[in-house]
Chains A and B, each alone.
Chain A
C-alpha cells in the first residue's frame, strides 16, 4: 500500500487551485484551508499499514479491500465493511477517498464492457482500473454537466461544458468548464462523465483528466464557516471535504484515458451509490452514537421519552443496515462476473434515509435539551470568574463540565453547523437527489408485469394482459431545463 507520505508528495504536482474567498493556493498540503483534509487522506493511506486495522481493511492476500474488484458475496461484504468502518471515522463527512476512486474505475470498466464499442476501449478501461489498483492513486468523479452560465448560452450548441478543440495522435485536446464535483483539490485525477455530451466514433465518452495537468484549474468552494478552535468544532475543523469546479484550457487527454462507455445512469455509478449509502449510514450511525452518548451524559438512560427518540433513530439506522445487507447478500453480477450490490435494495435504503434524515437531525437537537444551545467552550471554562459557576452548571454525574461541553459542542457541530448544511445541500444534488434515487428504484424494480397480472387473477373474468414494463424502462427524467429570461442575455 502506498504511504501517506507518498500521497502527500504526489499533491505537489504543480496543480493550480483557487479557493473561493481565499484566492490561489500554492500548496494544498500546507494551506490552512486544505491542510486538515490532506492530513485525513494521509491517515487514510497509513491506516492500511496499521496492524490494528488489518483485519478490517486488508484481504487475506494482503490486497487492500479498497482496491479489490469483488467477484463474490464474501468479497463484496468485506469491501463494504471497509467502507463502513472508514467513513464512520469522519462522521460520514469524507465521502470521497481513494477507495471511492477505485469504485469509479470499476464502473468505467463495467460501463466500457457494457457499451462494447471497440476492443481497445475495454482494454484501456481494464488497464486503467488495474493501474489504479496497483499504484493506488486518488480519483474523483465529475458527471460532466455544464455550469449554469453555460446552460444560459443563447446558442443551444454552446450549452455544453466541454468542447473538443482538436484531435491529435496523442489524444483529445479539450476546453471548457466542469460543474460540481468533490475533493478535486485532493485527488490526482478526475473522471469526467458522459454529461459533457462528447462523442468519439459516435459513442458517448468519459475521460480522465489529471488535476496537475497543464491547462487545468481547480476552483474549490468556500470553506464551511467554522470556529477555528477544534474544541468548538471538532468535525468542521477536520472534515470539510471541498467541492469544486474545474476549468480546462486546451488540456490534452491521452487516448488511453478516453473511454467509450454505456451512457445509462446506472453504468458508472454501479458501485458508487453503494458507497454513498454507506456514507449516509455513517452519518446516521454517528448521530445515533451521539444520541446514545448524550443520553448517558444528560442522565436520560431511564427516561422513557428519550428512549423512544433513540428507537426512532435506531429504526432508521437499522432499515438502512438491512437494505445494505440485503444488497450484498443478494447481489447482481456483470457478464464478466463482477459482484454488484443489488440496486433495488440499495435504492430502497437510500430513499428511506432521504426521508428520515431531517427527522434524525432534529432528534439529535431534541435529546440533549437546551444545554445544546448554551454549552460553553473550553476557553470559557478557563475564565477565572466563570470557571466555578460553569463547573456547577455543567459538571456532575461522572462528567466534568469540560467533558459534557465537548460532547454537546460536537453534537452541535454535527447537526447545526455549516458543515452539516453543506452536507445536506451536497447530498441533495450529488447523486441526483431523491428524484435520482427514485428513478433508480423505478429502473431496478423487476416485478411490474408479474404483480399487475397477478392481481387480475382475483377477478373472475378474462382480463387484458398488462404490460407495464415501460414504467421501469422509461429513461431517467432529463436534467431540468434552464429557461433563458426574456430579453436578457
Chain B
C-alpha cells in the first residue's frame, strides 16, 4: 500500500480543476475547498500502515482488504468489515475511496467478461485491474450519461455525452461532457460507462480516462455551505466529498483503457451497490451512535419515549446488518471466478434503508429536544458576557456546556446541514435511486414461478401452469427521457 504522502504527490499532476463558486483550483492538496478531503484520503492510505488498524484493514497475508479479489465468503466478510469500519470514520460521507475503485475495476473485468467480445478484451480489463491493485491508483466511477444541455439538443444524434473524434494506433480520441460522478478531483482515473453512447464495431464502449490527461477538465459542484468553525461543523469541514462533471476535449484514451461492455451498466456495478450499502449503513450507525450519545448527554436513557425512538433506529440499523450478513455469507459466483455478495439480500437492505432514512434523520432531530436548535458555539461559550449564563443553561449531569454543545452541533451537522442535504440528493440519484434498487431486486428475485404455482396446490382441481419469467426478465426501467421544448423555445 502506498503512503498517504505518495498519494498526495500524485495529485500534483497538472490536472485542471474548477469548483463551482470558487473558480480554478491550482493545487487540490492546498486549496481551501479541497485540501480537507485530500487529508482524509491521505489518512485513508496511512491507516493501512497503522498497526492499530491492521486487523481490520489487512488480510492475514498482509494484503489490504481494499484490494482483495474475493474467493469466498470469508474474503467478503473481511472486505465488508473494512468498508464498515472506514466508512464510519466519515459518518458515511466519504463513499468513494481507492477500495471502491478496486471494486469498479473488478466490475469492469466482470462486465467485459459477461459481454464476451473476446479474450483479448478480457485480458485488457484484467491487466487494468492488476494495475489498480499493484499501484493503488484511485479510480472513480461515472455511468457516462450526458449533462442536461446535451439531452435537450434538437438532434437526437447529438444527445450522447461523448463522441469519438478519431481512432489512432494508440487509441480513441474522445470529446464530450460527462455527467455527475463523485470525487473526480481526488481520483487519478475515472471510469466512464457505457451510457456515454460510444460504439465500436457494434459494441458499447466504456473507458478509463486519467484525471490529469491532456484535454480533461474537472468541474466540481459548489461546496456544501458550512460554518468555518470545526466546533460548529465538525463533519462538513472534513467530509465534503465533491461531486463533479468532466469535460473531455479531444482526449486520447489508450486502447488498453477502452473496454467493450453491454449497454447496461449493471455488470460493472456488481460489487458497487454492496459498498454503497455499507456507506448508508455507516451513516445510519452514526445516527444511532449520536442518538445514544445524546440520550446520555440529555439524561434521557431512562425515558421510555426516547428509548422507543432509539429502538426505531436500532431496527433500521439491524435490518441493514442482517441483509449485509446474509449477502456476504450467502454469496454468488461471477463470470470472472470471484464471489460477489448475494444481490437479493443487498437489494433488500438498500430498499429498507431508502424507506427508513427520512425517519432516521427526524428521530435524531427529535431525541435531543429543542436544545439542538439553540446550542451555542465555542466562541459564544468563551464570550465573557455569556459564559456564565450559557454554562448554567447547558452544563450539568457530567457534561460541561462546551461538551454538550459540541455533541449537539455534531448532531446538527449530521442531519440538518448542507452536507446532509447533499448526501440525500446525491444518494437519490447516484446508484439509480429507489427505482433502480427495486429494479435490481425484481431481476434478482428467483421464486416467481415456484411461489405462483405453489399457491395453486391449495385448489383441488387442475389449474393453468403459470410462467412469470417475463417479470424478472424485463429490462430495468429506462432512464427518463428529457423532452426538448417546442421549437419556439430552443
> Across the interface, do A292 and B349 meet the contact criterion of CB distance under 8 Å?
no
> Across the interface, do B438 and A308 meet the contact criterion of CB distance under 8 Å?
yes
> Across the interface, do A285 and B451 meet the contact criterion of CB distance under 8 Å?
yes
A442-B307, A454-B88, A471-B307 are known contacts; what are 8 more A-B pairs with Cβ within 8 Å?
A: A318-B445, A399-B464, A442-B314, A452-B296, A454-B286, A456-B407, A462-B403, A463-B403
Q: Which of A286-340 contact B (CB under 8 A)?
A: 286, 288-290, 292-293, 295-297, 301-302, 307-308, 310-311, 314-315, 318-319, 321-323, 325-327, 329-330
Contact of A323 among B310, B319, B447 (CB under 8 A): B319
> Across the interface, do B410 and A455 meet the contact criterion of CB distance under 8 Å?
yes
Can you list 17 A-B pairs with a CB-CB distance of less than 8 A? A235-B458, A286-B454, A292-B448, A292-B452, A307-B471, A318-B445, A319-B351, A322-B326, A323-B322, A326-B321, A326-B323, A344-B322, A406-B461, A453-B289, A455-B293, A460-B230, A466-B296
**Residue with the highest number of chain B CB atoms closer than 10 Å, among A285, A289, A352, A464:** A289
| B466 nearest in chain A by CB position | A296
A410 contacts partner chain B, Cβ-Cβ < 8 Å? yes
B318 contacts partner chain A, Cβ-Cβ < 8 Å? yes
Q: How far is the CA of A398 from the CA of B465 in the complex (A)?
A: 10
Chain B interface residues (CB < 8 Å from chain A): 88, 91, 230-231, 234-235, 285-286, 288-290, 292-293, 295-296, 301-302, 307-308, 310-311, 314-315, 318-319, 321-327, 329-330, 344-345, 347-349, 351-352, 398-399, 402-403, 406-407, 410, 438, 441-442, 445, 447-449, 451-456, 458-461, 463-464, 466-468, 470-471, 474
Chain A residues closer than 8 Å to B318, beta-carbon distance: 344-345, 347-348, 441, 445
Known: A293-B456, A349-B322. A398 touches B352 (CB 8 A): no
Min CB–CB distance B134 → chain A (angstroms): 33
Q: How far is the CA of A349 from the CA of B321 in the complex (A)?
A: 11
Known: A308-B438, A451-B292, A460-B230. A407 touches B456 (CB 8 A): yes
> Across the interface, do A466 and B293 meet the contact criterion of CB distance under 8 Å?
yes
Chain B residues closer than 8 Å to A288, beta-carbon distance: 451
Q: How far is the CA of A460 from the CA of B324 in the complex (A)?
A: 32
> Across the interface, do B452 and A442 meet the contact criterion of CB distance under 8 Å?
no
Q: How far is the CA of A329 from the CA of B73 in the complex (A)?
A: 11
The 9 closest A-B pairs by CB, nearest first: A289-B451, A451-B289, A292-B452, A326-B325, A452-B292, A329-B329, A348-B318, A325-B326, A289-B455
Q: How far is the CA of A4 from the CA of B288 in the complex (A)?
A: 51
> Across the interface, do B292 and A329 meet the contact criterion of CB distance under 8 Å?
no
Known: A322-B326, A442-B307, A459-B410. A348 touches B454 (CB 8 A): no
| B463 nearest in chain A by CB position | A403
Chain B residues closer than 8 Å to A398, beta-carbon distance: 464
> Across the interface, do A438 and B308 meet the contact criterion of CB distance under 8 Å?
yes
Q: How far is the CA of A403 from the CA of B456 in the complex (A)?
A: 10
> Across the interface, do A448 and B230 meet the contact criterion of CB distance under 8 Å?
no
Chain B residues closer than 8 Å to A460, beta-carbon distance: 230-231, 234
Min CB–CB distance B262 → chain A (angstroms): 22
> Across the interface, do A438 and B403 meet the contact criterion of CB distance under 8 Å?
no
Q: How far is the CA of A447 from the CA of B231 in the complex (A)?
A: 26
Q: How far is the CA of A22 from the CA of B230 in the complex (A)?
A: 74
Chain A residues closer than 8 Å to B286, beta-carbon distance: 451, 454-455
> Across the interface, do B311 and A438 meet the contact criterion of CB distance under 8 Å?
yes
A461 contacts partner chain B, Cβ-Cβ < 8 Å? yes
Known: A407-B456, A445-B314, A468-B292. A315 touches B471 (CB 8 A): no
Q: How far is the CA of A63 from the CA of B474 in the complex (A)?
A: 44
> Across the interface, do A451 and B285 meet the contact criterion of CB distance under 8 Å?
yes
> Across the interface, do B322 and A293 meet the contact criterion of CB distance under 8 Å?
no
Contact of B319 among A319, A403, A438, A439 (CB under 8 A): A319
Min CB–CB distance A196 → chain B (angstroms): 27
Known: A330-B329, A451-B289. A293 touches B466 (CB 8 A): yes
Q: Which of A381-403 contact B (CB under 8 A)?
A: 398-399, 402-403
Q: Which of A348-372 contact B (CB under 8 A)?
A: 348-349, 351-352
Chain A residues closer than 8 Å to B314, beta-carbon distance: 441-442, 445
Interface size class of A (residues with CB under 8 A): 35 or more
| B449 nearest in chain A by CB position | A292
> Across the interface, do B468 and A301 meet the contact criterion of CB distance under 8 Å?
yes
Q: How far is the CA of A458 from the CA of B234 in the complex (A)?
A: 7
> Across the interface, do B468 and A292 meet the contact criterion of CB distance under 8 Å?
yes
| A310 nearest in chain B by CB position | B471
Known: A314-B442, A326-B322, A455-B410. A292 touches B293 (CB 8 A): no
A19 contacts partner chain B, Cβ-Cβ < 8 Å? no
Chain B residues closer than 8 Å to A402, beta-carbon distance: 461
A248 contacts partner chain B, Cβ-Cβ < 8 Å? no
Contact of A311 among B329, B442, B468 (CB under 8 A): B442
Chain B residues closer than 8 Å to A442, beta-carbon distance: 307, 310-311, 314
Known: A352-B352, A458-B234, A463-B406. A292 touches B451 (CB 8 A): yes
Contact of A289 among B292, B327, B452 (CB under 8 A): B452
> Across the interface, do B441 and A314 meet the contact criterion of CB distance under 8 Å?
yes
Min CB–CB distance B351 → chain A (angstroms): 5
Chain B residues closer than 8 Å to A323, beta-carbon distance: 319, 322-323, 326
> Across the interface, do B301 and A326 meet the contact criterion of CB distance under 8 Å?
no
Q: How far is the CA of A448 from the CA of B294 in the complex (A)?
A: 12
**Residue with the highest number of chain B CB atoms closer than 10 Å, among A301, A325, A327:** A325
A234 contacts partner chain B, Cβ-Cβ < 8 Å? yes
Known: A308-B438, A325-B329, A451-B292. A88 touches B344 (CB 8 A): no
Known: A352-B315, A441-B314, A466-B296. A322 touches B322 (CB 8 A): yes
Known: A234-B459, A326-B323. A464 touches B398 (CB 8 A): yes
> Across the interface, do A230 and B460 meet the contact criterion of CB distance under 8 Å?
yes
Chain A residues closer than 8 Å to B345, beta-carbon distance: 318, 321-322, 325-326
Q: Which of A101-123 contact B (CB under 8 A)?
A: none
Chain B residues closer than 8 Å to A454, beta-carbon distance: 88, 286, 289
> Across the interface, do A301 and B349 meet the contact criterion of CB distance under 8 Å?
no
Chain A residues closer than 8 Å to B463, beta-carbon distance: 403, 406-407
Min CB–CB distance A36 → chain B (angstroms): 13
> Across the interface, do A314 and B445 meet the contact criterion of CB distance under 8 Å?
yes
Min CB–CB distance A265 → chain B (angstroms): 15
A481 contacts partner chain B, Cβ-Cβ < 8 Å? no
| B285 nearest in chain A by CB position | A451
> Across the interface, do B91 and A461 meet the contact criterion of CB distance under 8 Å?
no
Contact of B471 among A301, A330, A459 (CB under 8 A): A301
| A89 nearest in chain B by CB position | B457
A482 contacts partner chain B, Cβ-Cβ < 8 Å? no
Min CB–CB distance B70 → chain A (angstroms): 16
Chain B residues closer than 8 Å to A285, beta-carbon distance: 447, 451
